[in-house]
Amino acid sequence: MYTGSFVALITPFTNGEIDENSFQSLVDRQVKEGTNGVVPCGTTGESPTLSHTEHKRVTELCIEVVNGRIPVMAGAGSNSTSEAIELAKHAESAGADSVLVVAPYYNKPTQAGLYAHYKAINDAIGIPIIVYNIPGRSVVNVDVDTMKRLFKLPNIVGVKDATGDLALPISVKKELGPEFCQLSGEDATAVVHLAAGGNGCISVTANLVPARCAAQHQAWGKGDFIGAMAIQDELIDLHNAMFCEASPGPVKYAAELMGLCNAEMRLPMVEISETSKATVKTALFELGLIS
């Protein structure tokens, strides 16, 4: 069972190339500040614009610097099942603890197609698989009945829920039981998701304040619900600022302001607007993260 604060890692670039030193420094900082797990090569890591060679390299860099200290849940999704299998097999061979596999986007598969996609990946590897359900980006939604079928497969262990439906974790827990891991994909509602039956969060904000995000989940795990909500209240403006434009634009700009890496992204992602920059600066300043 995965619990607590996982971070959806950004991928730093310099002059169009992966900045390997900055990336590994970011990962090491996460481990040292108490993050419960790291997720390279997800949406926040700009996986759609990474070549397969780059995708695999980022996964390897992450596993290398983590060195077994915390779990590595490697992004391995694609709208092509064969490509997802290739990335998942590589993640397993490189030493990842599990893989995060997004629902196929653009193709619009049926529920039968979604089941067949995940089953093919399940049959190809021997490490846990987290289903990434994000209909806002993938268009398709993985229904509860489909998740129930998938959970009968040996390697399907949970879901990253980015639906925004805060009643959904209750239904999933009722139908699949508490052994099915539910990780929120939304920072701003992470505590509410926990209250509804969730186990943790794959966070964008944790790129910036890993210790605070981890402390929120530690408080919840100890039954300190007031303390967990206090941290949620403290971070809410920062959570919202991270999505004032499409991620990872705001979080990369924030990381640059904090001196963690530069804000460079790959097309079609472009520099965020001046209005969005002001929103991000204000949120960082109010938390004392910049002067």
pLDDT in tens, 203-221: 999 999 999 999 999 999 9
pLDDT in tens, 224-262: 999 999 999 999 999 999 999 999 999 999 999 999 999
Per-residue pLDDT at 124 exceeds 90:
yes
According to the model, what pLDDT value does residue 254 have? Answer: 98
Across 85-102, average pLDDT: 98
Label residue 222 by pLDDT band (50, 70, 90). Answer: very high
pLDDT for res 161? 98
| Ramachandran quadrant class, 72 (left: phi over 0; alpha: psi -120 to 50; beta: rest) | beta
Query: Is 2 labeled as catalytic in the residue annotation?
Result: no
Instruction: Please report the pLDDT score of residue 240 as a whole number.
Output: 98
What global pTM score does this model have? Answer: 0.97
Tell me the mean pLDDT in the region 93-107.
97
The domains of the chain, with CATH numbers, are 4-224 (3.20.20.70)
Task: State residue 252's pLDDT score.
Answer: 98
pLDDT at 221: 96
Catalytic hit among 2, 115, 118, 132: 132
Residue 55 reports pLDDT greater than 90: yes
- The per-residue pLDDT for 196 is 96
Residue 191 has what pLDDT? 97
Residue 1 has pLDDT above 90, yes or no: no
Question: Per the residue annotation, which of 160, 252, 253, 277 is the catalytic one?
Answer: 160
Residue-level pLDDT at 2: 96
% residues pLDDT > 90 (the chain): 100
DSSP secondary structure of the chain:
---EEEEE----EETTEE-HHHHHHHHHHHHHTT-SEEE-SSTTTTGGGS-HHHHHHHHHHHHHHHTTSS-BEEE---SSHHHHHHHHHHHHHHT-SEEEEEPPPSS---HHHHHHHHHHHHHH-SS-EEEEE-HHHHS----HHHHHHHHTSSSEEEEEE-S--TTHHHHHHHHH-TTSEEEES-GGGHHHHHHTT--EEEESGGGT-HHHHHHHHHHHHTT-HHHHHHHHHHHHHHHHHTTSSSTTHHHHHHHHHTTSS-----TT--PPPHHHHHHHHHHHHHTTS--
| Residue 115 appears among annotated catalytic residues | no
